[in-house]
Amino acid sequence: MSYVLSSYVPNVLEQIKMRNPDEMEFLQAAQEVLETLSPVIEQHPEYHEQKILERITEPERVIMFRVPWIDDKGEVQVNRGYRIEMNSSIGPYKGGLRFHPSVNLSILKFLAFEQVFKNSLTTLPIGGGKGGSDFDPKGKSDNEVMRFCQSFMTELCKYIGPNTDVPAGDIGVGGREIGYLFGQYKRIRNEFTGVLTGKALNWGGSLIRPEATGYGAVYFAQNMLATRDDSMQGKVCTVSGSGNVAQYTVEKVNLLGGKCVTLSDSAGTIYDPDGIDEEKLAFVMELKNVRRGRIKEYAEKFSGVQYMEGKRPWDIKCDCAYPSATQNEISKADAQSLVKNGCFLVSEGANMPTEPEGVEVFQKNNVLFGPGKAANAGGVAVSGLEMAQNAQHTNWTREEVDQRLQDIMEAIHTQAFNAAEEYNMPNNYVAGANIAGFIKVANSMLDQGLV
């Protein structure tokens, strides 16, 4: 490779660091992707000539706005709202909204960047975006959440639309929040359109959307297991988080004959050696989705369960791990502990839950490692199917959507697997997913000129 081409990736990474010095999560995500693209750049000098890496790491548009609202005591509160419209070369921007006190520009830019490649892998025509607010829904009344969502959407509605940008849920944004956001959009714009996904069934939602990310992460794991003639049957699994993704991961693992023994939240982890069966999962769903309580209550309700305050699940012995809470929740030491205890598969339900040093540990130890942008793409894939149903004014059956989800997860696995083989990095799903996701977007950018 010529000197110019071989120094292209490091030079671009250096520029990104200089331009965005305080954006640690964004830099982490950009580095992870760009470092795997060198062999592609070597074969495609046109990406260098047209400065595709510089362009793909710069959002097309960043929107940041004030969100004022009144709490139940009548006091004025002010939060910050964001929407990152990262890349629209293969379709309208698409990606979730996150409401969490940790939300900042760096976290949303990392998520939007990942989303571009993930959406490309789904085989659907959707670009990448992400948004949210530092608003914390925890401990707020329904009325406070509604007033916040209405204020947030009053500004956001100027920038989104069914053919422009279609947000969905993420951490802290579930069915309740999507309802309030949709209601306010409809009221201001006076139009009933598929501007958000994750809607309820009565007003344009898709069957299987709530299940899609968790189910998809397990389907991706099944595809990885199949490369070793294995299945989920009898596998002991650890799961982190206890929200949307974690809940439906447990449900699907159970349906496929595996056993999940942990769940967690930001306060601690429960370890249930007997397994979280259907009845116990129903308790978790009520606890988390209706009463909005803490996972600790699980250990108080069921016998033989250990609660580990302030701990993550990664010291528990398992065959497969499903990190489904948040970014950087598996450190190098956590990865070592998982490997030492016999874990041989990790399917990332969350976005970037494993730190780069942890990924290295998994790869060195031949762990089947499904990175988030491939393994958790089921959520956005069914969001894409929700958009398709809205556009056709139709509803598909549960079986139809689930079958399409399974087909998409298989297609994502095949693309990542094949790209890794083609570029001489067999079984490296990180490189494979990055390369396959990138090529489609990069070629579309070339086709559309300098925009």
Q: In the block, which residue shows the tokens 């920038």?
A: 159
Q: Which lies closer to ligand NDP via its Cβ, residue 12 or residue 287? A: 287
Dihedral, CA of residue 437, residue 246, residue 368 and residue 420, to nearest 10? 0
Residue nearest to ligand NDP (CB): 243
**215 or 438: CB nearest ligand NDP:** 215
We find the least distance from the C-beta atom of residue 138 to ligand NDP, in angstroms, to be: 7
CB of 212 to ligand NDP, least distance (A): 6
- Find, among 432, 430, 434, the residue nearest to 363 by Cα: 430
Shortest separation between residue 424's beta carbon and ligand NDP, angstroms: 30
Least gap, CB of 303 to ligand NDP (angstroms): 23
Q: Are 311 and 329 in contact (CB under 8 A)?
A: no
Calpha distance 244→451 (Å, rounded): 37
Give the position of tokens 């100027």. Answer: 158
Cα separations in angstroms, 64 against 112, 181, 183, 289: 14, 17, 22, 29
Greatest Cα pair distance in the chain: 65
Question: 422: how many CB neighbours lie within 10 A of its CB?
Answer: 15
CA gap 87, 94 in Å, rounded:
9
Whose structure tokens read 């004025």? 76
Quote the tokens at residue 383: 């969001």
**Cα–Cα distance, 110 to 25 (Å, whole number):** 6
What are the tokens at 220?
Answer: 């991706």
Residue located via tokens 């989303």:
115
CA proximity to 36, closest of 430, 312, 389: 430
To ligand NDP, the closest distance from the beta carbon of 190 in angstroms equals: 29
**Minimum separation from the CB atom of position 206 to ligand NDP (A):** 12
State the distance between the two ends of the chain, measured CA to CA, in whole angstroms: 29
What span, in angstroms and rounded, lies between the C-alpha atoms of 266 and 252? 23
Between residues 56 and 178, which has the closer beta carbon with respect to ligand NDP? 178
Read off the tokens for 211.
């299940």
**Closer CB to ligand NDP, residue 188 or residue 267?**
267
Give the nearer residue to ligand NDP in terms of CB position, either 172 or 258: 172
**Hey, which bits of 158-217 come out as E strands?**
165-168
**Residue 305, SS3 per DSSP:** coil
Measured from the CB atom, the residue of 12 and 131 that comes closer to ligand NDP is: 131
91 or 349: CB nearest ligand NDP? 349
Handedness of CA 8, 14, 19, 24 (dihedral sign): positive
In whole angstroms, how far apart are CA 333 and each of 176, 262, 312, 357? 37, 19, 12, 9
Look at residue 380 and give its three-state secondary structure: helix
DSSP state of 348: -
Q: Which is nearer to ligand NDP, 130 or 147 (CB)?
A: 130
Which residues of this protein are in contact with ligand NDP, per CB under 6 A?
A: 169-172, 174, 213, 241-246, 265-267, 324-326, 349-351, 376, 379
Known catalytic residues are 130
Taking the complex as a whole, the smallest distance from the CB of residue 15 to ligand NDP amounts, in Å, to 27
Compare residues 81 and 169 and give the one whose CB is closer to ligand NDP.
169
- Residue 251 class from Cβ within 10 Å (0-12 exposed, 13-18 middle, 19+ buried)? buried
Tell me the closest approach of the beta carbon of residue 243 to ligand NDP, in angstroms. Answer: 2
Least Å distance, CB 316 to ligand NDP, is 16
Distance between CA 103 and CA 310 in Å, rounded? 21
